[in-house]
Amino acid sequence: MNGDELERLSPEELLGVIRRQQAELAERDATIRALEAELAQFRRPAKTPENSSVPPSRGQQANRTQRRGRKRGPKRGH
């Protein structure tokens, strides 16, 4: 509703508009609180061997360089 429409309403109708808006705001506030709680779960740091009970073998591995040189094992065709 714009300002002109609101000016034409009676006091009782204005109270009805205010009550509906308050109900909508309360519903949106509840939705926002629920979404913020859900989002907080994703903001936790990732589990690593340093900050949790995750075993060290599950931690991030260092980047290894590719081997250059000859392959191991017998020569091809033998």
Residue 62 has pLDDT above 90, yes or no: no
pLDDT digits (tens, 9 = 90+) for 24-48: 999 999 999 999 999 988 887 777 8
State the Cα angle at 41 between 40 and 45, rounded to 5°: 95
**In a domain? residue 18:** yes
**In a domain? residue 34:** yes
What is the pLDDT confidence band of residue 14, given thresholds at 50, 70 and 90? very high
Phi-psi group of 72: left, alpha or beta (phi > 0 → left; psi -120 to 50 → alpha; rest → beta):
beta
Which range of residues forms the domain containing residue 27? Answer: 3-45
**In a domain? residue 53:** no
Residue 12 has pLDDT above 90, yes or no: yes
**In a domain? residue 29:** yes
**In a domain? residue 20:** yes
**In a domain? residue 78:** no
> What is the count of structural domains for the chain?
1
Q: What is the mean pLDDT of residues 5-29?
A: 94
Q: pTM here? A: 0.50
Q: What is the mean pLDDT of residues 48-66?
A: 77
For residue 77, give Cα distances in angstroms to 59, 71, 72, 73. Answer: 40, 14, 14, 11
